[in-house]
Chain A
Amino acid sequence: MPFEWFVSIRFLREGRMQTLLIFIGVAVGVAVMVFVGALIDGLQANLIRQTLSVQPHVIVRPAEQGARDVAVRSASLVAARIEKSAQRTSTLDSWQVIQQTIDRVPGIVASSPTVAGSAFASKGNVSRSVALRGIDPASYPRIIPIDQKIRAGTFHLVGNEAVVGTELAKDLGLAVGDKIRLVSTEGRDDIFAVTAVFDLGNKDLNQRWVFVSMRSAQTLLDLASSASTIEATVGDVFEADRVADEIAVRTGLEADSWMKLNAQLLVALKSQSSSSYMIQFFVMLAVTLGIASVLVVSVVQKSKEIGILKATGTTTGRVTRIFLIQGGIVGIVGSVLGSALGALLAQLFANLATNPDGSPTFPVDLGPNRFLIATLVATSIGLLAAVAPARRAARLDPAKVIRYG
């Protein structure tokens, strides 16, 4: 075994209680780091997942028409001007071409056209205002996994079939197989058979959304063959911003990412992350100071031994390394213990409370990277904390310390 390693390990073993305490200290610090990080990241990932389970990553809409002059003919004629319309009226006529363009944008994994409009759903004499969503049942589940949110019936939309939410079903007393009448604000109406009831985990959406086939929605809303929006899914949800910008550039349409539409949520998540980093930083700072103070004490306790080593020819470089290695070992051992402890704590916490569907109320993220980073951080601070004690040890004058036994 190399000399420095051998001496380092012996010195640590000789320290017994001191070594044990500092191992525990580092382990607790690393455990806090792992636990807090796993919890915060888990909660955030869950929050984003929940948000994105009812929202597309990117929505592409027709560009909004601003106020513009349409004609300035002569001095005798006042220029006609169109003001910005209060409601979005334009639609995507050649959406197939646009969809092809969108699909070619790097980062896009799926896209689906939708037709949206307002309607009334009625059964008997009860009627509710709903948001009509005409979708392509083949591709839409890749945008919002509606097929996995079905509580009754089977997700099926062909011809005059409709899928409604649990709240609407309750309000109208609907069951799978029942018929409802949908009346659009344009005054067109038709009868639809309910094939499934969904639960998106959001009361408002469960009350408002009614899915029909794109064809039916186009007929009801008098839209010929156009689509209202094209919704897209990206591979990396945090790239949605960039992908949306790219789509806007390529299509000339308006493309909004979920990040833009949920700016407040993201700000909240960021400040939560910062406070989590702050906690982790100060915990690690305390751990660093702890390691440093234990090693300083150890240098004082072992000054005679260090003097003997130097008297018998050990160079200052080797003495420095003996203490750096001790710091490194403390960091590595502490982070292995701490990772295990943190993972255990996080797992316990995750199992503490569960949602009705069995998923944890406090989901934790225990990816391998977390432990890798914790180990790297703890080892680095172990080394860092050892610098001052190591230099102190290296500076010891052997002639002074060995005279007085």
Chain B
Amino acid sequence: MGETVLELDRVVKDYGTHVTTRVLHGIDLRVERGEVMAVIGPSGSGKSTLLNLMGLLDRPSSGRVLVRGIDTTPLADDAMARLRGRSIGFVFQFHHLLPAFTAIENVLLPIWSDRGTVGRAERRVARELLERVGLGPQADNKATDLSGGQQQRVAIARALVMQPDVLLADEPTGNLDTSTADSIFALLRDSGRERGGALVVVTHDPRLAARCDRVVEIIDGHIVSDVQKATAPA
């Protein structure tokens, strides 16, 4: 087993103040470097809540979330935001690009926001990433002038620009046609392997899950199965 990049330690999440609903019941989960993991489960199972907690977008009601061994519980919001920017890359179902910005500017945003300014070196990195996802010629196009698949590729390049330890993808192929979905997933998995970071895909698409090394199934806020495959299918 490799290095643990993300760890959930007895994580509980409740919602509501007067009447509380427990969405997650003490989740223990370790994500190792280089892993390609699928989190599956029906709607309302707590998948999204789990994703928010893993992505440091939300805090657990109890339990701890550790990134590369660092406990995030005592971190203030801004410190959490910076840690999130540096260690987690997000790919959402709806690409969530900034429409007023070009493809390369969207890719640059996380690094720009982290450092305050960007120079030639950062621009080169962003351009290389766009070439890597097959969008070299479209680098200076407005985000809104790209097709759905192209936008999702830009979103992947953006998620990779900070060289995150964990790439979190929430239904990354949810609104794409099958062939585009396949190539997007291949891109996610391959770029994860190249970097040596982990990829966590939240999905209810069994085809997608089948292509991951490890499948974690969550139902009603409990992990009901955690299957590690001996070898990942190609």
Contacts and interface: CB of A to CB of B under 8 A. Distances in A.
Interface of A: 1-3, 6, 10-11, 13-14, 304-305, 307-318, 398-399, 402-403, 405
A239 B112 CA distance: 56
A311 B57 contact: yes
A313 B84 contact: yes
Contact of B86 (A11, A305, A313, A402): A313
27 contacts: A1-B117, A2-B116, A6-B112, A10-B98, A10-B100, A11-B100, A14-B99, A305-B98, A308-B98, A309-B113, A311-B84, A312-B84, A312-B90, A312-B110, A312-B113, A313-B82, A313-B86, A313-B114, A313-B162, A315-B81, A315-B113, A316-B77, A398-B57, A402-B92, A403-B48, A405-B92, A405-B96
B55 A311 contact: yes
Contact of A304 (B85, B96, B158): B96
B109 interface: yes
Contact of A399 (B58, B100, B115, B162): B58
A2 B114 CA distance: 11
Which of the listed residues A13, A307, A315, A405 has the most CB atoms from chain B within 10 Å of its own CB?
A315
Given A308-B96, A313-B81, A313-B162, 12 more contacts: A3-B113, A11-B100, A13-B100, A14-B99, A305-B98, A308-B98, A311-B90, A314-B81, A315-B82, A316-B78, A399-B58, A405-B92
Interface string B76-106: 0110011011100010111011111100010
Interface of B: 48, 52, 55, 57-58, 77-78, 81-82, 84-86, 90, 92-94, 96-101, 105, 109-110, 112-117, 158, 162
B117 A314 contact: no
Contacts of A304: 96
Contacts of B116: 2-3
A308 B77 CA distance: 15
A123 to B, nearest CB: 86
Contacts of A313: 81-82, 84-86, 110, 113-114, 162
Chain A to chain B: the 7 pairs with minimum beta-carbon distance, closest first: A313-B85, A405-B94, A14-B100, A399-B57, A312-B110, A314-B113, A315-B78
B26 to A, nearest CB: 21
A18 to B, nearest CB: 13
Contacts of A403: 48
A401 to B, nearest CB: 10
B56 to A, nearest CB: 9
A316 B79 CA distance: 10
A10 B99 CA distance: 10
B13 to A, nearest CB: 11
Contacts of B117: 1-3
Contacts of A309: 98, 109, 113
Which of the listed residues B97, B98, B113 has the most CB atoms from chain A within 10 Å of its own CB?
B113
Contacts of A402: 92, 96
The main secondary structure of chain A at its interface with chain B is helix
A51 B86 CA distance: 72
A248 to B, nearest CB: 63
A316 B77 CA distance: 8
Contacts of A1: 117
A313 B81 CA distance: 5
A174 to B, nearest CB: 80
A312 B58 contact: no
A312 B107 CA distance: 11
B39 to A, nearest CB: 15
B151 to A, nearest CB: 11
Given A2-B116, A6-B112, A10-B100, A312 B85 contact: yes
B165 to A, nearest CB: 13
B159 to A, nearest CB: 8
Contacts of A314: 81, 85, 109, 113
A295 to B, nearest CB: 16
A402 B58 CA distance: 13
A6 B94 CA distance: 24
A10 B48 CA distance: 31
Given A2-B117, A405-B96, A312 B158 contact: yes
B48 A316 contact: no
A10 B94 CA distance: 21
Contacts of B115: 3
Nearest to B96: A308
A403 B96 CA distance: 10
Contacts of B113: 3, 309, 312-315, 318
A307 B96 CA distance: 9
A313 to B, nearest CB: 2
Given A3-B117, A403-B48, A312 B109 contact: yes
Contacts of B100: 10-11, 13-14
Which of the listed residues A3, A311, A398, A405 has the most CB atoms from chain B within 10 Å of its own CB?
A311
Nearest to B86: A313
B27 to A, nearest CB: 17
A317 B78 contact: yes
A305 B98 CA distance: 6
Contacts of B158: 312
A10 B144 CA distance: 14
A316 B76 CA distance: 11
Contacts of A308: 96-98
Contacts of B90: 311-312
Given A308-B98, A309-B109, A398-B57, A405 B84 contact: no
Contacts of B101: 10
Nearest to B158: A312
Nearest to A6: B112
Nearest to A313: B85
B78 A399 contact: no
A221 to B, nearest CB: 82
